[in-house]
Amino acid sequence: MSAIPDDFIRRTTEVQDTAIRPFANSRKIYIQGSSPDIRVPMREISQSATTAGVDVAEPNPPIYVYDTSGPYTDPEHTMSLRAGLPALRTRG
C-alpha cells in the first residue's frame, strides 16, 4: 500500500476562509454557564437603527442568540483539522 502524498494531506486538511470568516454585523461572545469552567457560545447581532421620522433614528439593542458554529468562528481559536479539537473536559 502506498503512502498518501503530503500535498494531498495539506490540501484536504486546510479550513477554507469561508468557513471561518466572521458573520456580518455580529461577533462571537461567551457567557458563563452553570459553573465557572463552562463557557456558553453566543452571537451578539447588531441591528440597524429604526427610522422614527425625518432625520430621526431610534437605536435598537443587539440580539443575542446561541451560537452552534463551534470554534470555527472564534477569532482566538487556531483551527487544525489534523490536530482536532482541544479537550474541554476530562474525566478524572
Domain for residue 6, yes or no? no
Q: How many domains does the chain have?
A: 1
Q: Which three cell numbers stand for residue 63?
A: 440580539
Q: Which residue has the cell 447581532?
A: 45
Rounded to whole angstroms, how far apart are CA atoms 74 and 79?
Answer: 9
Digit-coded pLDDT (tens) for 14-43: 777 666 677 789 999 999 999 888 889 999
Digit-coded pLDDT (tens) for 38-89: 889 999 999 999 998 888 999 999 999 999 888 777 878 777 777 777 776 6
Domain range spanning residue 56?
23-71
Rounded to whole angstroms, how far apart are CA atoms 45 and 58?
Answer: 17
